[in-house]
Amino acid sequence: MKSTRTGLAAAAAVLALTVSACGSDDGGGGDAGSGGDGGGDSIRIGIKFDQPGLGLKQGEEYTGMDVDIATYVAGELGYSEDQIEWVQAPSAQRENLIATDQVRLIFATYSITDERKEQVSFAGPYFIAGQDLLVRSDDDSITGPDSLDGKSLCSVTGSTSAQNVQEEVPGVNLQEFGTYSECVAALQSGAIDALTTDDTILAGYAAQPQYEGQLKVVGNTFSEERYGVGLKKGDTELCQQVTDAINQMFEDGSWQAAVDDNLGQAGYQPGAGNPPTPDECA
């Protein structure tokens, strides 16, 4: 009898939690205007779960530059750290996550593009990344896209980086995989010569303990990726609040700290144009 009662209590507690989670989800969209004080509510933020240095989930720990910046911005919006609910935001699902109110903000290496602006609004940019190359530390033959002709290059199926490099260097020998981790493993073993995507992602991999000292970012970017904060289309008020928070972060030095803490280990320095000037919220 006792155990039945305990079970019932547990079930009730779980139910209550679920209900309150749903409630806060709805509330998240509704109190967009009230901004400043989040009160007892929580905020759902979409991040990458699988990108070292940017957004990485290890057990219940979330680390990375996007996580740090999101935590700061949420703090400015009135949400303490334990009021943040992290949600995985894979690249292909980011627009849908916002459109269906499953998250309020997305910090997930989300480049601002005109196509995406048709579906979501952006605050920021909060970081300017660029497409770059990751090579083995002892390889000096690759200095940029010009020296890629005939080299074996790796990227992720269908990614913007893969498309760019195919346009720029038609002679490149491209191998595409489902994820970057497979590329990094192949690069380390010497089977391919270089890996291409945003320099931030590359720096994150180069800084991982198991690759320390073995890989380096070439540092010759050949595109501009302006990372923005994805939010519901047309929500200018929220956009303004986020932009203010980002500006404040630039000023008080915590932006620099977030970059250095997460990407600095491999000697990575943010490229030209950083910290950027956020766009007007329209």
Partner 1 sequence: MGDFFSNYDILGAFWVTVQLSVLSAIGALVIGTVVAVLRISPVGVLRLIGSLYVNLIRNTPLTLLMVSSILGLTFILGLQISEQNTRNAYWWAVIMLSVYHAAFVCEAIRSGVNTIPAGQAEAARSIGLTFGQSMREVLLPQAFRGAIAPLGSTLIALIKNTTVAAVILGTAEAAGLLAQITENEGASLPLFFVFALGFVVLTLPIGIGITNLSRRLAVKR
**Binder among 182, 260, 261, 279 for partner 1 (CB under 8 A):** 182
Instruction: Tell me the C-alpha to C-alpha distance, in Å, between residue 172 and each of 17, 54, 161, 176, 192.
Output: 53, 28, 13, 12, 12
Least distance from partner 1 to the Cβ atom of residue 130, Å: 17
CA distance 207 to 56: 13
20 versus 181: smaller Cβ distance to partner 1: 181
- Least Cα distance to 162 among 194, 135, 136 occurs for 194
Q: 250-269: which residues touch partner 1 (CB under 8 A)?
A: none
Least distance from partner 1 to the Cβ atom of residue 95, Å: 4
- Report the SS3 class of residue 170: coil
Write the binding mask 79 to 118 for partner 1: x where contact by CB under 8 A, - elsewhere: ------------xxxxxx------------------xx-x
- Report the SS3 class of residue 123: strand
- Judged by CB under 8 A, the stretch of 25-33, 187-195, 206-214, 269-277 that binds partner 1 is 187-195
Least distance from partner 1 to the Cβ atom of residue 119, Å: 5
- Cβ within 8 Å of residue 8, ≥6 positions away: none
Check the CA dihedral 47-51-56-59 and report its sign: positive
Residue position matching structure tokens 């991040």? 47
Least distance from partner 1 to the Cβ atom of residue 160, Å: 6
Instruction: Tell me the C-alpha to C-alpha distance, in Å, between residue 67 and each of 3, 9, 191, 282.
Output: 41, 35, 33, 25
**Binder among 192, 195, 239, 266 for partner 1 (CB under 8 A):** 192
In contact, 51 and 70? CB cutoff 8 Å: no
Write the binding mask 198 to 227 for partner 1: x where contact by CB under 8 A, - elsewhere: ------------------------------
**Binder among 7, 23, 158, 267 for partner 1 (CB under 8 A):** 158
- Judged by CB under 8 A, the stretch of 17-25, 150-158, 194-202, 218-226 that binds partner 1 is 150-158
Least distance from partner 1 to the Cβ atom of residue 202, Å: 18
173 versus 247: smaller Cβ distance to partner 1: 173
CA distance 217 to 143: 10
* Helices and strands per DSSP (H, E), number in the chain: 9, 13
Question: What residues make contact with partner 1 under the rule CB under 8 A?
Answer: 91-96, 115-116, 118-119, 152, 157-160, 162-163, 173-178, 182, 185-186, 189, 191-192
